[in-house]
Amino acid sequence: MTERPATRYPGPTLTTRLHWLLNAGPSDYMLALSVASASLPVIGKHLEPLGALTAAGVWGARHAPDFVNSLAKSLVTPNDAEKKQQDRDCTNAVTEAALRGLVSAKDLDIEWPAADRTPPVWKMREHRRHVHRTSVRYGPRPGQLLDVWRRDDLPAEPAPVLIFVPGGAWVHGSRMLQGYALMSHLAQQGWVCLSIDYRVAPHHPWPAHITDVKTAIAWARANVDKFGGDRNFVTISGTSAGGHLAALAGLTANDPEMQGELPEGSDTSVDAVIGIYGRYDWEDKSTVERVRFMDFLERVVVKRKFDKHPDVFRNASPIARIHPQAPPFLVVHGTGDSVIPVAQARSFVDRLKAVSRSVVGYVELPGAGHGFDMTDGARTGAASTAIGLFLNHIHRNRTLLGAKEVI
């Protein structure tokens, strides 16, 4: 049995505290104040949202130049509206082409969903008709909760399972509103979906996030059959920061350093990973955008300097954890993403294809921005359909393989 390492980081010294006081900026003081206020007795737990709000403000301030530049470029580019419409119109064709060779031609011979002008977020009530149970505990901590999505008339045989990890820049980890279109689509097809909450910075620095995700996977492997799910086929997906966490979880199956709070023998492996506009590199500082991102990680999420703790960042970087036994991956990203540029996804996919022995798919949606699955009805239907086709293909092949082994 693998010995679980005791992961410990040295606490702050008087010297490091003085260094922080001399170098901290206004945002650092605001974050420190919010964290300190949250530790107050009785009222502290009610003040935790203040820390998340402050951290989100820090994140927004760092990305404001990218948003402004993107908007300015859109306003001054000739025929920009026509180009955007062309990008939307080709969504189905681009998505279908990306799946050729990954799923069968028969599976692709379908009527792809028509572009919908209604933002998916406005269809919240329609999507949530598949919510079967809310606020199920997947761990001992107060915030370790999940919702179960499934059809009421689920067939008797165990259903494939998807765990959905919401995004939020590692400072917001709520299952509210995120992933609804995808989970509704999969639930309609007979899947059991688990949408999770997890701990976030600044009150819970890294690696609390991935610890919670691993805890949810272990819970599913041990308990999802109570809701009709197949404990032997569990996949994971996430958007933005959730895409990072899903990818990292998939690449570090049963890694003792990532699941120190779990009992010995807990299974945190997954059978496939879907990364949707995720962040896959926690080390690269090659661009201005990535330098700003790394500064955000250091100050808010990890609360450690990259130069002094490079191993912490490297171990949390999915692109650095790719190995030949990686599970099947499908990565979905938009070329119009100004928060996490599409180059991040391209590099990650290239590395996966070079190293992994499993299936690797990549759907690059022309013009799609960050959070398109909540705001862009023209692309969300195609993306959900593509993910469903990919996952059903993986599940069908895994089931056939299992049947052959039994014979």
CB 143 within 8 A of CB 198: yes
Q: Is 240 a catalytic residue?
A: yes
The catalytically annotated residue of 63, 127, 244, 370 is 370
**Residue 337 catalytic?**
yes
What's the alpha-carbon Rg for the chain, to the nearest Å?
21
Residues facing residue 330 across a β-bridge: 274, 361
The label of the residue with tokens 């919401």 reads 166
Q: Which of 337, 356, 393, 395 is catalytic?
A: 337
Distances (CA, A) of 404 to 93, 141, 160, 400, 407: 35, 41, 19, 6, 5
Tokens in use for 136? 């199920």
Q: Hey, what are 225's tokens?
A: 């059959």
Cβ pair 59, 169 in contact under 8 A: yes
**370 carries an active-site annotation:** yes
Q: What are phi and psi of 229, to 5 degrees?
A: -90, 160
Which one-letter DSSP state was computed for residue 12? Answer: P
Token pair listed for 234 = 């569990």
- The SS3 of residue 70 is helix
Q: Where are the alpha helices (DSSP H) in 252-341?
A: 288-296, 310-315
Catalytic residue among 240, 338, 356, 384: 240
Nearby residues of 161 by Cβ (< 8 Å), 6 or more positions away: 191, 192, 193, 194, 220, 224, 229, 230, 231, 233, 234, 235
How many distinct helices (H) and strands (E) make up the chain? Answer: 15, 8
- As given in the structure block, the two tokens for residue 331 are 């990565």
Catalytic site positions: 240, 337, 370
